[in-house]
Amino acid sequence: MMHQELIAGLGLPLGELWNLTALTADSRATGRWTSLLTVKPLNLTGGVGSPANATALR
């Protein structure tokens, strides 16, 4: 029930299946662990849904 309420009802993306391996590897290599992880919708006029497009800004 929680998934239906959060995703369909509120439009809130869930990050439970995101692959953050590359971000972790980059953080280890640079020693920099601070970043902003955001989810941007697809740029579709009149769209009613969008896959979660996670983007890490460093």
Q: What is the DSSP string of 1-58?
A: -HHIIIIIIT-----TT---HHHHHHHHHHT----EEEEE----TT-S----EEEEE-
Question: For residue 23, what pLDDT is reported?
Answer: 87
Question: For residue 5, what pLDDT is reported?
Answer: 81
| Whole-structure pTM value | 0.56
Q: What's the pLDDT tens digit per position in 1-56? A: 787 787 777 777 777 777 889 889 999 999 999 988 888 777 778 776 677 677 88
